[in-house]
Amino acid sequence: MTASARESHAAVGRRFPAGFHWGVATSAYQIEGAWDEDGKGASIWDTYAHTPGNIENDDTGDVANDHYHRYEEDVGLLESLGATAYRFSIAWPRVFPEGAGKPNSKGLDFYSRLVDELLAAGIEPFATLYHWDLPQTLQDRYGGWQSAETSKAFAEYAGYVAERLGDRVKHYFTINEFRSFVEGGYQVVDVKVGGKTIQLGGAPGLRLSDSELKQVRHHAVLGHGLGVQAIRAVAPAGTKVGFAENIRVAVPAIDAPEYVEAAEKATRERNAGFMTVMLEGRYTDEYLAEAGGGSPTFTDEELKTIAAPLDFVGINVYRPGWYVEPSDEPPGYSEIPISASHPKMQSSWHVFDPEVMYWAPRQMQSIWGAESIFITENGCAAADVVAGDGRVYDSDRVMFMRACLGQLQRATSEGVPVDGYFLWSAQDNFEWVDGYGTRFGIVYVDFDTLERTPKLSADWFRHAAMQNAVV
Ligand code: PNW
């Protein structure tokens, strides 16, 4: 094959739309370290990880990747990956050590320097305001998201950040994965994989009842809505705001109209407490009537706030939620068990099916009419090792990325409005509950020396970004 034939190969049907954002993502607690430096307050994850027995190997984020001190080197790495966008999160307790009230200027300064560094490297900053590291004081004072006081404090913090960074940061995600931190932190998430049930937990480590949990969900989405309003009140025109939710997607077992419709019903109903209420401004009748679950206390005014108009929707997509087929019985769909031999990636919960990367954005468009969609996370853990020649050959991650982006490209080629993709993650980091033994990065981190080594998947990412195509 000649060089030009090779080049045109990617052009034939495998390209993304012009202007597509090629991003990588991280979060504050998972990479920053410097947990009590420069006036930062403690977060619920500091407390949780400092409690023996909660995290594998009793790992903590105290030092993590030391990104707080190495951010210049890390931006250089992003540049070498060919990333055109970077999704990072801001640690609320750095900015407001007490959760609200008096800001700590040194905390915000760090993000201001990071943003300057990114812009100088030609990388568009996308800031997430809440990636689970709630100020401990708000947990102590109000029981965290059990109270609407936390939702209000979040809005105050969001407005403050947008005021300070708004001249340079044009894209904000309010809250990351409502589902994960609410269900995992305030109850526990059951995930069925290969005939077994795995339990996922997290900070603050509470075990609330189903009806109490509904109230926590309500305060989380209310925090999002109040945050959107607060950002809009201060940020320059053209600032874009949305959420980054871990949507659980019902995948039609067969691509036939009645299956597709059954799957849409299931996705809409089973995201009722998060995605559906944020995009529709009401709780579904089924959600409110759920047996044993009670109903959250809310007002019409709050529903209006929760459904504040957004500029885009962000979805984290890792695995299929369920496979469904149509049913003549209400609710019109039934769930198909996932076979014990279904392929999976390394994380215990990670059922593998790249098709979810097609159905997730397609359903955002077909169910809710989304006009701008970002894949805010997608990636996998792998058993990475540094080979004798110093390289890291993560063939399974390359397979995963190529397969997922192939399905995403299928969606964009059918006109689903996906504006960008953020790979999780820019580097190996502290994985919630699993600690440092579980590696999600396309850059390897030696946690003894903190040396960074791009993996084979980093080369794959760079080629894909360069060609704006599946490679
Ligand atoms: C996300 N699941 O969590 C988080 O946003 C990241 O901080 C995290 O490191 C990453 O994904 C990898 O775990 C998830 O059960 C937790 O499908 C659970 C699931 C997916 C994502």
Which pLDDT tens digit goes with each residue over 140-180? 999 999 999 999 999 999 999 999 999 999 999 999 999 99
Cα separation of the two ends of the chain:
16
Is 32 annotated in the active site? no
Residue nearest to ligand 1 atom 4, measured at CA: 177
Residue 81: CB partners within 8 Å, gap ≥ 6? 24, 426, 442, 443, 454, 458, 461, 462, 465
Backbone dihedral angles phi then psi of residue 181, each to the nearest 5 degrees: -80, -30
Query: Cα(379) to centroid of ligand 1, in Å?
Result: 9
User: Is the distance from the beta carbon of residue 246 to the nearest atom of ligand 1 less than 6 Å?
Assistant: yes
User: Is the distance from the beta carbon of residue 424 to the nearest atom of ligand 1 less than 6 Å?
Assistant: yes
Residue nearest to ligand 1 atom 13, measured at CA: 431
User: Is the distance from the beta carbon of residue 89 to the nearest atom of ligand 1 less than 6 Å?
Assistant: no
DSSP letters along 311-363, please? Answer: S-EEEE--S-SEEEEE-SSTTSEEEEPPPTT--B-SSTT-B--TTHHHHHHHH
User: Is the distance from the beta carbon of residue 440 to the nearest atom of ligand 1 less than 6 Å?
Assistant: yes
Is 377 annotated in the active site? yes
| Mean residue pLDDT across the chain | 96
Closest by CA to 122, choosing from 71, 80, 164, is: 80
Which pLDDT tens digit goes with each residue over 214-228? 999 999 999 999 999
User: Is the distance from the beta carbon of residue 180 to the nearest atom of ligand 1 less than 6 Å?
Assistant: yes
Q: How far apart are CA 374 and CA 23, in angstroms?
A: 10
- Give the pLDDT confidence score for residue 17 in this predicted structure: 97
Query: Cα(387) to centroid of ligand 1, in Å?
Result: 27
Query: Cα(237) to centroid of ligand 1, in Å?
Result: 32
Residue 120: CB partners within 8 Å, gap ≥ 6? none
DSSP state of 469: B
199 token code pair: 């339990």
Which pLDDT tens digit goes with each residue over 232-274? 999 999 999 999 999 999 999 999 999 999 999 999 999 999 9
User: Is the distance from the beta carbon of residue 43 to the nearest atom of ligand 1 less than 6 Å?
Assistant: no
Which pLDDT tens digit goes with each residue over 296-350? 999 999 999 999 999 999 999 999 999 999 999 999 999 999 999 999 999 999 9
Residue where the block lists tokens 């025109």:
237
pLDDT at 416 over 90: yes
Query: Cα(423) to centroid of ligand 1, in Å?
Result: 12
Nearest atom in ligand 1 to the alpha carbon of residue 319 is 17
Query: Cα(293) to centroid of ligand 1, in Å?
Result: 25
Q: How far apart are CA 421 and CA 412, in angstroms?
A: 12
pLDDT at 2 over 80: no
User: Is the distance from the beta carbon of residue 430 to the nearest atom of ligand 1 less than 6 Å?
Assistant: no
